[in-house]
Amino acid sequence: MLKKTTHTKLIVLIDPDKYNPELIVLANSCKVHCFFVGGSELKSNLLNKTIKSIKSLTKKPVIIFPGDETQISKHADGILILSLLSGRNPDYLIGKHVVSARKIISSKLKTIPVGYILVNGNNISTTQIITKTEPISTTSTLINTAIAAELLGKKLVYLEAGSGANAPIKNSIIKTIKKEINIPIIVGGGINTILKAKNILKEKPDYIVIGNALEKTSDFLFDLNKLIK
């Protein structure tokens, strides 16, 4: 479902609290690989409803991007099992996984183990506040954490600058990590202009994730579509 690619693929992140069905319809005519659904802190209980609505509008895969153990739905095509390797809060390394394990098994969802790494995006992200962890600032630690993710058996590394980040992941970080690991890399956070997207695409991460920017204007998706091969 999420494998290494020769050309970067686009993933659209949907926050159920801000769901816009028109964006899904638009995505059907664009080079969107799949949808992530979820959020760090959902204020409404709309996950199931949102996923069912998306599935009724598209055949593209819908994968849960869970902010906590409550964000599980059998209606999705898969779920990311996120281990927050950039922090040392045991709840987000293993605690919430233990609590949700049986529910995930019962849902029969395809599971995708992910090394989730918060990178300093020059802002305080919602994820940082909720998990009570700090992003990684030093390049050497980022690289070693990504390597550790692969050694731990993770199937993906997700480099996250945080929703609404002032600065996306640096090209040098993406480039170096790509050389050091053999599993796919996802890059997200702070990609809110075409210039920033172009810059990141130069390093050919396997996937980029766009969320907040599309909540402000879905037209951004048309411009992104021109960049994706």
Domains of the chain as residue ranges with CATH: 9-227 (3.20.20.390)
Please calculate the CA angle 36-37-38 and round it to the nearest 5 degrees: 125
Q: Give every CB contact of residue 30 below 8 A, 6+ residues apart in sequence.
A: 10, 221, 222, 224, 225, 228
* pTM (predicted TM-score): 0.97
Q: Which two tokens stand for residue 30?
A: 């664009």
Q: What is the pLDDT of residue 87?
A: 97
Q: What is the pLDDT along the chain (229 residues), one digit of tens a residue?
A: 899 999 999 999 999 999 999 999 999 999 999 999 999 889 889 999 999 999 999 999 999 999 999 999 999 999 999 999 999 999 999 999 999 999 999 999 999 999 999 999 888 888 999 999 999 999 999 999 999 999 999 999 999 998 778 889 999 999 999 999 999 999 999 999 999 999 999 999 999 999 999 988 888 999 999 999 8
Q: What is the pLDDT of residue 162?
A: 86
Q: What is the pLDDT of residue 176?
A: 97
